[in-house]
Amino acid sequence: MLSRSSLSTLKAHCLSPEWREPAIGIVHLGIGNFHRAHEALYTEEAMLAQPGDWGICGVTLQGDVSKRDALMAQDGLYSVVERGPDGERVTVVRALREVLAMPFDRARLLELFADERVRIVSLTVTEKGYCRDPQTGDADFAHPGVAHDLAHPDEPSTVPGILCAALKARRHAGTPPFTVLSCDNLSQNGEALRQAVCSFARRLDPALAKWIETHVAFPSTMVDRIVPATTEADRAAAQAALGVRDEAPVPCEPFRQWVIEDRFPAGRPAWETAGAQLVDDVAPFEIAKLRMLNATHSALAYLSMLAGFETISDAVGHAPLGSLIHAMMTREIAPTLDVPPSFDLAAYRDALLDRYANPALKHRCAQIAMDGSQKMPPRILSTIEARLDAGQPIERLALAVAAWFTFLRGRADDGTRYAISDPLAERLTKAAECAGTPESLVDALLAVSDVFPAALARNPVLREVLVRAATKLQNGSLAAIDEYARLD
Ligand code: CS2
Residue 86 pLDDT > 90: no
Break the chain into its structural domains and give their ranges: 4-279, 283-485
Task: Tell me how far the alpha carbon of residue 319 lies from the centroid of ligand 1, in angstroms.
Answer: 22
102 lines ligand 1 (CB under 6 A): no
Span 179-193, average pLDDT: 97
Q: Whose CA is nearest to atom 10 of ligand 1?
A: 226
Q: Which residue's CA lies nearest to atom 5 of ligand 1?
A: 368
**How many angstroms is it from 210 CA to the middle of ligand 1?**
34
Q: Give the mean model confidence (pLDDT) for residues 7-28.
A: 93
What is the Å distance from ligand 1's center to 368 Cα?
7
Mean pLDDT computed over 410-418: 97
pLDDT at position 218 is 98
Supply the residue whose CA is at minimum distance from atom 6 of ligand 1: 294
The rounded mean pLDDT for the chain is: 97
Q: Residue with the nearest Cα to atom 13 of ligand 1? A: 224
pLDDT value at residue 293: 98
pLDDT of 447: 97
Q: Is 74 in the pocket of ligand 1 (CB under 6 A)?
A: no
Q: Residue 241 Cα, ligand 1 centroid: separation in angstroms?
A: 27
CA of 229 to the centre of ligand 1 (A): 11
Distance CA 180, CA 200 (A): 15
Q: Which ligand 1 atom minimizes the distance to the CA of 257?
A: 13
Tell me, using a 6 A CB cutoff, whether residue 471 lines ligand 1. Answer: no
pLDDT band for position 213 (50/70/90)? very high
- 2 Cα–ligand 1 center, Å: 28
Which of 41, 222, 293, 362 gets mutated to test ligand 1 (max ligand atoms within 8 A of its CB)? 293
Q: Could you report the per-residue pLDDT of 444-470, keeping only the tens digit for each?
A: 999 999 999 999 999 999 999 999 999
Give the integer Cα–Cα distance in Å for 211 and 332: 43
Share of the chain above pLDDT 90, in %: 96
The percent of residues in the chain predicted with pLDDT above 70, rounded, is 100
Task: Check pocket membership of 292 for ligand 1, CB cut-off 6 A.
Answer: no
pLDDT for 311: 98
What tens digit of pLDDT does each residue of 52-82 get?
999 999 999 998 899 999 999 999 999 999 9
Q: Which of 8-17, 21-30, 207-216 has the lowest mean pLDDT?
A: 8-17
Q: Does any ligand 1 atom lie closer than 6 A to the CB of residue 163?
A: no
Nearest residue by C-alpha to atom 4 in ligand 1: 368
Q: Ligand 1 mean position to 293 CA, how many Å?
A: 8
Protein residue closest via CA to atom 8 of ligand 1: 226
Q: How confident is the model at residue 8 (pLDDT cuts 50, 70, 90)?
A: confident
Model confidence band, residue 212 (pLDDT cutoffs 50, 70, 90): very high
Whether the domain at 4-279 and the domain at 283-485 fall into the same CATH topology: no
CATH architecture for segment(s) 4-279? 3-Layer(aba) Sandwich (3.40)
Task: Judge if the beta carbon of residue 128 lies within 6 A of ligand 1.
Answer: no
Q: What is the mean pLDDT of residues 146-159?
A: 97
Is residue 94 lining ligand 1, measured as CB closer than 6 Å?
no
297 lines ligand 1 (CB under 6 A): yes
Mutate to test the pocket of ligand 1, among 185, 221, 222 (most ligand atoms within 8 A of CB): 185
Least confident of 11-20, 225-234, 248-257, 322-331: 11-20
Which atom in ligand 1 lies closest to the alpha carbon of residue 363?
9
Centre of ligand 1 to C-alpha 173, Å, is: 39
- Return the pLDDT at 216: 98
Is the beta carbon of 368 within 6 A of some atom in ligand 1? yes
> pLDDT tens digits for 244-295?
999 999 999 999 999 999 999 999 999 999 999 999 999 999 999 999 999 9
What pLDDT, on a 0 to 100 scale, did the predictor assign at position 205? Answer: 97
225 touches ligand 1 (CB under 6 Å): yes
Q: Note the pLDDT of residue 6.
A: 87
pLDDT tens sequence across 369-388: 999 999 999 999 999 999 99
**pLDDT the model gives residue 435:** 86
With a cut of 90, say whether residue 9 has pLDDT above it. no
Q: What's the pLDDT at 449?
A: 96
Query: Distance from the CA of 481 to the center of ligand 1, in angstroms?
Result: 22
Protein fold of 283-485: N-(1-d-carboxylethyl)-l-norvaline Dehydrogenase; domain 2 (1.10.1040)
Predicted local confidence at residue 85, as pLDDT: 87
Choice from 368, 370, 380, 404 to test ligand 1 binding pocket (greatest atom count within 8 A of CB): 368
Ligand 1 centroid–CA 13 distance in Å is 27
How far does the centroid of ligand 1 lie from the alpha carbon of residue 253, in Å? 12
User: Does the C-beta of 185 come closer than 6 Å to ligand 1?
Assistant: yes
pTM of the model: 0.97
